[in-house]
Amino acid sequence: MGFVIAVDGPAASGKGTIAVKLGALYGYPVLDSGLLYRAVGVKVLERGQDLGDEAAALDAARSLDPAELEQPRVRTRAAGEAASRVAVYSPVRRALREFQQAFAAREPGAVIDGRDIGTVIAPHAPAKLYVTATPEVRAQRRWKQLTGQGEAVTFEEILADIRVRDERDSARADSPMTMAADAVLLDTTEMTIDAAFDAARRIVETARSRWETAKG
Ligand code: CDP
């Protein structure tokens, strides 16, 4: 395994932005694993199927084409909600695992952000971050992002979404959202994105020195 950087955490914690910036810093490819679940949810809805239908979700996951991650529709509020509904199904998670693990195996390194990267997808990742912030601050960030994309939605609606999603992602029987024992917690509540990235970079640099020493 190369230098894999696992960036986990709840919705709108800033993990995606941090992951992209780390990728640019090291020249590594970046995978936003949430897009996989979002694309599966969107596909189920586009086929006119029910998000409560596990077999439909599994079929959507198995037939997923990486090009589907690029559709603007996967970035909507509805897609985020659909993603967390299909993400509770273990067979769906298994179907998406191979793609993520192949990405993690890329040399000389890769950055992946999600919920279970440091715990399930790449438990041996040399660098693990768990990025968090209060629900209110996360809702504020997500509200800005979605209204910037043209969605008509209130702050209160987004805050409610975030609370439901945190609860669903944490209560999941398979791969619940939890911090890996060897991850470093980064609370970005009071941080600007530049400050958060700076803190993340320092954590990753420490992990990198340790990894290089261990490699010999
Ligand atoms: O962008 P945001 O943080 O709202 O969410 P996301 O990372 O795009 O993920 C959307 C949903 O997919 C999450 O609420 C999880 O339910 C699910 N997910 C997951 O189960 N495992 C991952 N590695 C990534 C996302």
pLDDT, averaged in runs of 10, over the chain (216 residues): 96 96 98 98 98 98 96 95 96 97 97 97 98 97 94 96 93 89 97 96 97 90
Ligand 1 atom closest to the Cα of residue 165 is 14
Question: Encoding tokens for residue 201?
Answer: 């970079």
Cβ atoms of 113 and 28 closer than 8 Å: no
Task: Determine the pLDDT at residue 174.
Answer: 86
Note the pLDDT of residue 1. 82
153 phi/psi in degrees, rounded to 5? -155, 145
DSSP state of 117: I
Atom in ligand 1 nearest the alpha carbon of residue 80: 10
Q: Sign of the C-alpha dihedral, residues 160, 163, 164, 166?
A: positive
Tokens of 142: 């997500």
Q: Which among 115, 145, 157, 177 is the best mutation to test ligand 1's pocket, defined by most ligand atoms within 8 Å of the CB? A: 115
Look at residue 100 in the predicted model and tell me its pLDDT. Answer: 98
**d(C-alpha 65, C-alpha 96), whole Å:** 11
Nearest CA to ligand 1 atom 9: 34
Nearest CA to ligand 1 atom 14: 84
Torsion of Cα atoms, 68 then 31 then 118 then 5, to 10° = 180
pTM attached to this predicted model = 0.95
CA–CA–CA angle 70, 73, 78 (5° rounding): 135
| Closest residue by CA, ligand 1 atom 5 | 11
Q: Which atom of ligand 1 is nearest to the CA of 79?
A: 10
Evaluate: CB of 138 within 6 angstroms of ligand 1: no
The letter for the amino acid at 196 is A
Contacts of 128 (CB under 8 A, 6+ apart): 5, 6, 8, 117, 118, 180, 182, 183, 184, 207
CA of 210 to the centre of ligand 1 (A): 29
**Minimum-distance ligand 1 atom for the alpha carbon of 175:** 20
3-state secondary structure of 30: strand
